[in-house]
Amino acid sequence: MLTYTLRRLLLAIPTLLLISLVIFLLVDFAPGSPMSEIPLTVPPEVRQKMIEAMGADQPVFIRYLLWLRQFFWVEPAGLIDGWFGTSLAEGQQRIISWQTRSPVFVTIGQRIPQTLTVIGSAYAIGVLIALPIGIYSAYRQYSWFDQLGTFVAMVGYSVPTFFTGVLLIVIFSVNLGWFPSIYDTTLKVVDWDSFIKQVMQMALPVTVLALFNAAEISRYTRASFLDNLSQDYVRTARAKGMSEKTVVLKHVLRNSMIPVVTVIALGIPSIFAGAIITEQVFKVNGIGAALIGAIHANDLPMVQTLTFIFAVLIVLFNLIADILYGVLDPRIRYD
């Protein structure tokens, strides 16, 4: 298992290097100029100076190699400096956003908490409600509970989040006035009142995303559970006189979680990347919003870095899914 993990991690390096090159080139070849958001009154020679100052006039391979060095050496070194008070990255150029002229990772550091609180908790809640619903639906197949669950999941999965988001805003913010429609990023949770406020402003975006995630995962859980409920080993467990609880929550659960865990693990990178639309609808100033803003402003370093981080997360969670697969299923332990 350890050898397998190490081998996969080593294999991930060339994969990620290739991905980073492809991302860099694709983003670079896209039309547009980092000066497109600079007022037209700025004279061309000044523009030229600005472009040179940012290094944007350098050939693409030089910028790529510089970016590689900054991403894999300077930024981690800076992180270590921050923890241990060393000065490994002292005086070295970090990845600078063309838009804000500040390090890209400073912006990311500011945006990540919003995304994690809203999108992350939506995912966690989605998973937590999806599993019991999926299990019970399968156990009582074709019961009214199952029919209702199927219907809700169908709706939750097929209606896009920008529609449910706006619908919830119209009902609960505009008409009923229960929840705010705009997420206030500046709110700090210091006491009970501000905590309640935070919960209130999270309620709508979390509901929208949790419904969507729960719909998907509960369907997977149900299908996987149904597959396993009719297996011979379930009959064996019953014939051994095990209680229904043991049969279902031990024998069947462990087997049916194998594919579901993969789906859940592979969905985690989308917490960071995929909730762009919901962040826009509720004005959550998270990482998705940062990406959209950077694309609008032709802020290539920001776009390249964020996209590459998403790629790293996807590769990482693929590996985690594979390892969990091996942990849950002895038949495919990699040794």
Interface with another protein (CB under 8 A): 231-233, 235-243, 246, 251, 254-255, 258, 328-331
For residue 236, the minimal CB distance to another protein (Å) is: 5
Residues 6+ apart with CB under 8 A from 121: 202, 206
Q: How far apart are CA 243 and CA 237, in angstroms?
A: 9
Contact (Cβ atoms closer than 8 angstroms) between residue 261 and residue 324:
yes
Which CB, 40 or 239, lies closer to another protein? 239
CB nearer to another protein: pick between 111 and 222: 222
CB of 247 to another protein, least distance (A): 10
**Nearer CB in complex with another protein: 195/233:** 233
Amino acid letter, residue 291: L
Eight-state DSSP code of residue 251: I
Nearer to another protein, 177 or 330 (CB): 330
Find the shortest distance in angstroms from Cβ 130 to another protein: 21
CB of 335 to another protein, least distance (A): 13
As measured in angstroms, the least distance from the Cβ of 329 to another protein is 6
Cα 96 to Cα 39, 82, 101, 261, distances in angstroms:
21, 18, 6, 38
Cα dihedral 172→173→177→183 (10° resolution): 120
Judged by beta carbon, residue 146 or residue 329, the one nearer another protein is: 329
Which residues make Cβ contacts (< 8 Å) with residue 134, sequence separation at least 6? 149, 217, 218, 219, 220, 221, 222, 224, 225, 260
Q: In the Cβ-directed half-sphere of 254, how many Cα atoms lie within 13 Å?
A: 12
Q: Is 207 left (phi over 0), alpha (psi -120 to 50) or beta?
A: alpha
Nearer to another protein, 221 or 255 (CB): 255
The separation between the first and the last C-alpha atoms of the chain, rounded to the nearest angstrom, is 6
Tell the smallest beta-carbon distance from residue 234 to another protein (Å).
Answer: 8
Closer to another protein at the Cβ: 20 or 255? 255
**CA–CA distance, 114 with 184 (Å, rounded to integer):** 10
Least distance from another protein to the Cβ atom of residue 267, Å: 23
